Structure 1
Amino acid sequence: MSIENITKEGWMNSVFPEWGTWLNEEIEETEVPEGNVSMWWLGCTGIWIKSHEGTNILCDLWTGTGKRSHGAGNMKKGHQMMRMSGCQELQPNLRVQPFVIDPFEIKDVDALVVTHIHSDHLDINTAACVHHNCPKAKFIGPQEVVNTWLEWGVPKEKTIVVKPGDSVKVNSITVKALEAFDRTALVTCNDPEEILKGKMPQDMDEIAVNYLFETSGGNIYHAGDSHYSNKFAQHGNDYKIDVALGAYGENPRGITDKLTSIDILRMAESLNTEVVIPVHHDIWANFMADPNEIVMLWQFKKERLNYKFNPMIWQVGGKFTYPQDKGVIHYHHYRGFRDVFSTDNDTPFPSFL
């Protein structure tokens, strides 16, 4: 090693992705207990689901970054945040979380499933890696998501367009598409010159869906970037939902883009879920929120409102197995050292300890 040999490229290759293949290896080696389903949080709303039978579904994995320069200090013309609020200044959405999985080492994915058109959910690097590493994998999403994949070069025969009410069987897991409630997606338009005011909105079913993943170990509801909707209650009536994931965040002034802590609790109650897990709050510097607020409000309200669910506060890169971990409130990464003193320690004398 010499300081004369250090380069920016070498530095990036030596530290990125920050977790290397640690999580790739863990997922590959995990044997899910019978009657259970395991999932890992990959950051933002990215989830890896693995069934007892060995079916692997990757949902919404995003491998990009937020702002990397102040630039001219202005919002990109036509951006959905500009459209909804009339703001002009640059949105300071820096990526906060490290990359916990190496997309180029992804293996054994049976389907890549994407909720909607936004680039922090629909990712070209993920699409390329799944296409090349998992040649039999299906690409499942609403029409405009599939259109984007086709533009990127994903073969049409690999893609499956879904709309609310559709079901796709992926080995041992059934993927059901349900209505999405993402009003931010409705004001997303690729043409910065197009004016949306006074026009009919886009068809939500073409650009976004929520999903229910039905497995032998339990059913997982992924709400994508949906805002709170009274229709959650209909989904809770129509389907058995065991675990629900919602896009939580602290909305900046004049912006409504994420579920609040109260919204998360209302969503869980409406869906009749057993467990509710906030996601997305981890990733953007300007939307970060403390999920402990959800726990505090749940504790305050659960007796009076007779809540039948509990929140689970996750950490990115962590595994959650249902129903094995059903009662866990706060996830913590494995702390290690379970084999202390399994061999003789080596210190100069015992008082060192």
Structure 2
Amino acid sequence: MNDKIVIGKTGKQLLKQMDTTEVPKDGVAIWQLGQESLVVKKQGKLIYFDPYLSASPSRSFEPPIKPEEIYNADYVVITHHHSDHLDPFTLKDLSIHSPQALFVCPAPHVQLMLDAGIGEERIIAAKAGVSCELTQGISFTPVACKHEKYITDADGNHFFLGYVFNLDGLIFYHAGDALADQELEDALKPHHIELACMPINGHDWRRLRKQIYGNMTFREAADMAAEIGAEMVIPMHYDMFKGNTENPAYFVDYLGRYYPSMKFKVLVPGERFLYLTEREQ
């Protein structure tokens, strides 16, 4: 593994930075942990998205933090059941060391969370289109997405979700794993998303026959961000596994050619990014 890829903070220093970072009322702080693992801070609350922090020889770099080091999670948001998003080993240790944390997951995956050792009273079952307030000023609306195809359980609940968060007026979108299509665009547009985090690793038949399910290409991610009116876009899901990566420079080049006014940020694992809104609150 190449731990030189991680050039941001790691371990206790990274966690201390999360604790001590002061976020202005008109902003949000974001830390990238690799793949689609992000930490978002708002109103003093830390929200972990898809924390995949298990040690594995298939990783391209060491996790910036270890699951057993995480004591500061207030909320943990899971987009779907694949192991690089719903990682039972990470979730088990994180739940023990962050006993205050609540866990959001798609309704069909509640049993997987229980199997990972999460108490039922700590789990929020997310359903597409059904909004939920976590605390005053922080709420979310799940959005169904297609990870090769839309999948629902017997009750019609979607397996794959993205999440639109209202962070005290700042609208933040974590796409999870998703392909671009008209249904997704139509679901996202009414939310007036300002900051969008999108997968860019793409999809093709070679990976699909190995059961590696696809995502937006870098072109599709940029096009979708533009279509939904996002002010800024952050690419995700391009850095973790050999054979399922993408060069984010292609994404940046495409934005420069076709959407030169679109703001973007490419983050490295362990890096902090402070975003300040330019919209009137």
Fold conserved between structures, TM > 0.5: yes
- Out of 171, 192, 195, the position equivalent to 1:219 is 171
CA contact (8 A) 2:255 2:262 kept: no
- Out of 263, 275, 280, the position equivalent to 1:322 is 275
40-49 or 125-134, which deviates more:
125-134
CA contact (8 A) 1:114 1:145 kept: no
Q: How far apart in 1 are the matches of 2:243 and 2:278?
A: 31
3-state SS of paired residue (1:108): coil
What does the per-residue CA deviation read over 1:289-337, in whole Å, with 9 as the maximum and x for residues that have no partner? 111111111222236xxxx5223222121112222699xxxxxxxxxxx
Q: Which amino acid aligns with 1:27?
A: M
Aligned residue pairs: how many?
264
What 5-or-longer segments of structure 2 have no aligned partner? 1-8, 209-213
- Out of 155, 168, 178, the position equivalent to 2:143 is 178
Q: Could you list the structure 1 runs, at least 4 aligned residues long, displaced by more than 4 angstroms after superposition.
A: 201-204, 250-253
- Tell me the TM-score normalised to structure 2 length: 0.85
How far apart are 1:135 and its partner, in Å? 2.2
Q: Which amino acid aligns with 1:313?
A: V
What 5-or-longer segments of structure 1 have no aligned partner? 1-17, 69-93, 187-200, 327-353
Q: 1:314 to 1:175 in 2, by over 3 A?
A: same
CA contact (8 A) 1:114 1:140 kept: yes
Q: How far apart in 1 are the matches of 2:100 and 2:10?
A: 27
Counterpart in 2 of 1:62?
52
Q: 1:166 to 1:250 in 2, by over 3 A?
A: closer
Greater strand proportion: 2
Kindly, what percent of the aligned residue pairs are identical?
25
Q: How far apart in 1 are the matches of 2:189 and 2:201?
A: 26
40-49 or 128-137, which deviates more:
128-137
Counterpart in 1 of 2:100?
136
Q: How far apart in 2 are the matches of 1:114 and 1:230?
A: 24
- Tell me the TM-score normalised to structure 1 length: 0.69
How far apart are 1:234 and its partner, in Å? 1.4
* Structure ranking higher on relative contact order (CA contacts 8 Å, 6+ apart): 2
CA contact (8 A) 1:115 1:208 kept: yes
Q: How far apart in 1 are the matches of 2:158 and 2:81?
A: 9
3-state SS of paired residue (1:231): helix
CA contact (8 A) 1:173 1:214 kept: yes
Q: Which amino acid aligns with 1:179?
A: A
What does the per-residue CA deviation read over 1:170-205, in whole Å, with 9 as the maximum and x for residues that have no partner? 22311221112212685xxxxxxxxxxxxxx76783
How far apart are 1:277 and its partner, in Å? 1.1
What does the per-residue CA deviation read over 1:195-250, in whole Å, with 9 as the maximum and x for residues that have no partner? xxxxxx76783422110111126221011011112123213421021111111115
3-state SS of paired residue (1:254): helix
Q: 1:233 to 1:217 in 2, by over 3 A?
A: same
CA contact (8 A) 2:54 2:67 kept: no
What does the per-residue CA deviation read over 1:61-83, in whole Å, with 9 as the maximum and x for residues that have no partner? 002355x4xxxxxxxxxxxxxxx
Structure with larger Rg: 1
Q: CA RMSD in A?
A: 2.4
Counterpart in 1 of 2:62?
98
CA contact (8 A) 1:32 1:50 kept: yes
Q: Which amino acid aligns with 1:235?
A: A
